[in-house]
Amino acid sequence: MTGIIILIAVAVFVLILFLIAALKKPPQERRMPIKEEVDAQAAAGRLAGAIRIPTVSDFDRSKMDYSRFDELHAYLKRAYPLVHGTLTREVTDRKCLIYHWQGTDEALLPAGLLAHMDVVPVNEAEWDDPPFSGVIRDGYVYGRGALDMKGQLIAVLESVEALLKEGFAPKRSIYLLFGSDEEPMGEFGAKLISEELQGRGVRLSFLLDEGGAIQDGRMMGVKRDIALIGICEKGIMNLRLTAKGKGGHASMPPRVTAAGGVARAVTALEAHQMKGSFNYAAENMFKTLTPHMGGAFKFFFANQWLFGGLLKSILCKIPASAALIRTTFAPTQLSGSNAPNVLAGSASAVFNIRIAPGETDQDVLAHVRKAAPDTQQDVIYYYPPSPVSRVDTEEYRSVARAVADAFPELVVAPYPVVAATDSRHYYNICDHVFRFVPFLSLKDDLGTVHAANERLSIESLGRGIAFYKHLVRTTCGPGQS
C-alpha cells in the first residue's frame, strides 16, 4: 500500500515538472519587418577599401604605425561625404575618432555607437589571398578586419550616410566612437575617449559595441538561431606562477624540479576549477531561452529550482557553456631553462584567466593559492569584470527590439560576453552598455576572427547596415521622450 502511494506521489511530481516546462511558452511577439534600403554591393566595395589600409595595433604602441590611421581617416572622409559634412569630428592624440551627430532634443541623453579601427597582426603565409588586399569573391569580402571589426565600423558609417541621404534628423544626439587600440586593451583609445567625454559632462543613454553574436540555437536545444546581446563582460587576469628548484647540470637531477613544480601547478588548476554559478546575465539568458527550448533542455531548464546543481555541473563540462558561468584558466606560456642540459632554477607558467562577473582578483588568487600552494603568484595584468547592464530597462528593451525587428528569424537573448571589448571602458559615462554583432555569417566564420582568411558575407553586411539604420531610427528618431 505504502509502495503504491509513493509511486503515485512520484508520478504526480514528475507530471508537475512536465507541466511547469509545458507552461513556459515563447511570448507572443509582434515583430514589424523592417524595410531599409541598403546597397550592400557598394558597401562591400567601401569595406574592401578600409581593409586595404593595414591599421595594425600592437601592445608595444611604439611599434604602431599611426600614419595608417591618418590614411584610414582620409579614406572615410572620401567614402562618407554626408557624414563628414553634417557630423562634427574630432581626432584624438592617438588617432581615435569622435563624431557627434546633434539631435533636435538636447534634453535626451545621447546614444553611442562604437567600433575599433585597429586590427590584429597577420601570418601572411596562412592566407589564400594577401590579408590586406580586400578581395571580393563569391559573395564575401576577405581580409584582416572584415569581421573584427571594420565590417561593423563600415556598417555604422553606411547607416548614418544613408539616413542623412534620406533626410533623417535625429531627435536624440548620437556619438560615433571609434578606438585605435582595442586589440591591445584600449588603454590609449576607448579609455581616453570615455575620460574625455566624462570631463565634458557627457552621459550616454546607451551604447552598442561588438561582442555579442548570432549563434546556432541547437547547442541550447533551441530550433532557431539566437541573437546574443552582451550585457557584461568577464574580467581578465594574466598571472605568472613560478616554481623554484635547484638549478645546475641536468645529469643528476633532484627528485623534485622547478619544471615539475610548475607542471603540477598547471595540472592542479586544470583539475580544480572555480565553481560555476548562474550570474545575472547567464540566468537571464537561460530564462529568455527556456520557452524556446525543446525536449530535455526545456524540462531541465524550466525546473531549474530542482535541477540547478545538475545543470551547472553539465554546463561546466562543455567549454563553450563553462566559459559563460565560471572563471576559466588557460595556461598559455611555459618557460624553464634555456638549454636542454640545464636544470631550471625557476620555471613558470602564465595563465590567461577570464573572471566571471561578481568575482574579483582576490577570489582568483585565493583559489590559486589553494590549488597550487607551492608556487609564487605574480599578477601581470588585471582588469575586473564589468558591471552588468540590466535587462528590465527601456534601454535594453529598445535595443533588443531593434535586433528582433532586423532579424525576425532569431530568438533574442542577453548573455555574458566571455571576451573583452572597448565598451568596458565606458561605464564611467553609461549604465546601459550593450554588445552585439549584427552579422549572420559570423556564425559560420567565427574561426576566421584573429585567424587566416577572415571574411564577411556581403549579404550579412547589408543586413547589418539595415539593422543600424533601424536601430538609429527607433532609438534616436522622433518619438523619443
Residues with catalytic annotation? 118, 182
In terms of CB distance, is 148 or 359 closer to Zn ion? Answer: 148
For 481, the grid coordinates are: 521622450
Q: Give the range of 21-29, 140-148, 187-195, 370-378 binding Zn ion by CB under 5 A.
A: 140-148
For 355, the grid coordinates are: 573572471
Looking only at residues 357 through 386 of this chain, which bind Zn ion when binding is defined by CB under 5 A? none
For Zn ion (CB under 5 A), the number of binding residues is 2
Is 233 among the residues that bind Zn ion (CB under 5 A)? no
Q: Give the range of 92-100, 104-112, 145-153, 459-467 binding Zn ion by CB under 5 A.
A: 145-153
In terms of CB distance, is 181 or 405 closer to Zn ion? Answer: 181
For residue 62, the minimal CB distance to Zn ion (Å) is: 22
For residue 116, the minimal CB distance to Zn ion (Å) is: 6
Contact by Cβ (8 Å): 76, 101: no
Q: Give the contacts of 184 (CB within 8 A, at least 6 positions apart).
A: 57, 58, 59, 61
Spatial separation of the C-alpha atoms in residues 336 and 325, rounded to whole Å: 33
For residue 215, the minimal CB distance to Zn ion (Å) is: 17
Looking only at residues 147 through 176 of this chain, which bind Zn ion when binding is defined by CB under 5 A? 148-149
In terms of CB distance, is 149 or 466 closer to Zn ion? Answer: 149
Looking only at residues 267 through 306 of this chain, which bind Zn ion when binding is defined by CB under 5 A? none
Contact by Cβ (8 Å): 17, 435: no
In terms of CB distance, is 26 or 184 closer to Zn ion? Answer: 184
In terms of CB distance, is 152 or 303 closer to Zn ion? Answer: 152
For residue 45, the minimal CB distance to Zn ion (Å) is: 22
Taking the alpha carbons of 285, 472, 431, 427 in that order, is the dihedral positive or negative?
positive
For 226-250, the DSSP string reads EEEEEEEE-EEEEEEEEEE---EET
Q: Give the contacts of 313 (CB within 8 A, at least 6 positions apart).
A: 276
Best CA proximity match to 155, nearest among 474, 461, 435 = 461
Spatial separation of the C-alpha atoms in residues 50 and 257, rounded to whole Å: 52
For residue 72, the minimal CB distance to Zn ion (Å) is: 15
For 115-165, the DSSP string reads EE--B----GGG-SS-TTS--EETTEEESTTTTTTHHHHHHHHHHHHHHHH
Looking only at residues 390 through 419 of this chain, which bind Zn ion when binding is defined by CB under 5 A? none
In terms of CB distance, is 337 or 421 closer to Zn ion? Answer: 421
Spatial separation of the C-alpha atoms in residues 425 and 445, rounded to whole Å: 27
For residue 411, the minimal CB distance to Zn ion (Å) is: 24
In degrees and rounded to multiples of 5, residue 140 shows phi and psi of -125, 150
Q: Which residues bind Zn ion (CB under 5 A)?
A: 148-149
